[in-house]
């Protein structure tokens, strides 16, 4: 699995109108009454694919931790009002699966498309699924996205999110485009492995790179800290639902062979090894 393009949108909370205006500059797709989540997703995907000649039989894989959270809260607030009436588009906009359809439509992709929601390990699990489909020749290319809105406008949001390092909160739409062609690649996903504990990880993985990438829970793990103490550490300083993608984008920029370790609060671990050729 070779990476050939990437895109990163990372902002403090923006109004939906700002993203609509940006999207209008690069696409004629009509998302006038769609959710902020959908618009943010389509905009990021289009930026990633703007210079890519597609191979056909394309897969779209979108990860998110919170989905269209702004619209979900709007509907919940409406339901709690006396004599409430939920407008049809408000109801449609809380369906998270809509987003992969809109991305496919904007890019004119006819292959499989899907959305995966997972707490903490969403991007890693989505990338793992895309790699499996690519390795088994189910698709020719994969566009993998990680999209989440800011949660700062959600009442008492600190009780709903996992932000153990108290990182700065932002919203974003980050993407990588991959296929099996080696020529002109930006990096290679050598393997993606899953473990039930850090102990199992340590027993089965060789930490044979100078650089180690960690998500927040992995960074706080005492067993890992001893093993990686002499390594160059890649760590994002931003809280964003699918924080793993920020680490992968940093790895691509650094161009150093790196093992990315992502752990959740239940101690499950996913490891991704990224390699670069001279």
Read off the CATH number of the domain in which 161 is found.
Answer: 3.40.47.10
Whether residue 209 sits in one domain with residue 149: no
Q: Is the pTM higher than 0.95?
A: no
Domain that includes residue 228, residue range: 187-275
Whether residue 191 sits in one domain with residue 123: no
Whether residue 226 sits in one domain with residue 151: no
Whether residue 211 sits in one domain with residue 144: no
Domain count, the chain: 2
Best CA proximity match to 105, nearest among 10, 11, 171, 34:
34
pLDDT tens readout for residues 110-153: 889 999 998 889 999 999 999 999 999 999 999 999 999 887 77
Whether residue 238 sits in one domain with residue 107: no
- Provide the 10 A C-beta neighbour count for residue 25: 7
Whether residue 93 sits in one domain with residue 12: yes
Whether residue 126 sits in one domain with residue 75: yes
Where is the domain boundary, 156, 179, 202?
A: 179
Q: CA-CA distances (angstroms) from residue 82 to 75, 79, 154, 185?
A: 13, 8, 21, 57
Could you say which residues of the chain have pLDDT below 70? 72-73, 75-79, 86-89, 91, 93-94, 155, 157-160, 278
Pair 196, 190: CB distance under 8 Å: no
Whether residue 242 sits in one domain with residue 171: no
Whether residue 196 sits in one domain with residue 173: no
Whether residue 149 sits in one domain with residue 54: yes
């Amino acid at each position: 699995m070779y990476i050939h393009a990437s895109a990163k949108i990372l902002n403090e909370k923006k109004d939906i109108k700002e993203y609509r205006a940006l999207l209008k500059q690069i696409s004629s797709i009509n998302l006038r009454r769609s959710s902020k989540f959908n618009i943010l997703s389509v905009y990021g995907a289009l930026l990633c694919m703007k210079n890519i000649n597609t191979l056909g039989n394309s897969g779209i894989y979108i990860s998110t931790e919170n989905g269209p959270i702004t619209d979900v809260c709007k509907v919940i607030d409406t339901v709690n009002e006396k004599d409430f009436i939920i407008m049809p588009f408000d109801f449609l906009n809380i369906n998270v699966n809509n987003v992969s359809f809109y991305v496919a439509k904007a890019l004119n992709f006819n292959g499989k498309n899907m959305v995966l929601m997972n707490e903490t390990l969403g991007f890693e699990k989505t990338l793992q699924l895309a790699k499996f489909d690519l390795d088994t020749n189910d698709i020719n290319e994969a566009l993998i996205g990680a999209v989440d809105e800011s949660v700062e406008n959600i009442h008492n949001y600190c009780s709903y999110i996992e932000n153990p390092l108290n990182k700065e909160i932002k919203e974003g739409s980050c993407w990588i485009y991959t296929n099996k062609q080696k020529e002109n690649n930006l990096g290679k996903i050598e393997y993606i492995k899953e473990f039930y504990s850090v102990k199992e990880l340590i027993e089965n993985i060789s930490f044979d790179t100078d650089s180690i990438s960690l998500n927040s829970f992995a960074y706080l793990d005492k067993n890992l800290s001893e093993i990686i103490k002499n390594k160059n550490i890649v760590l994002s300083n931003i809280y964003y639902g699918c924080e793993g993608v920020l680490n992968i984008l940093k790895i691509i920029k650094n161009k150093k062979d790196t093992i990315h370790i992502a752990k959740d609060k239940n101690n499950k671990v996913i490891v991704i090894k990224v390699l670069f050729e001279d």
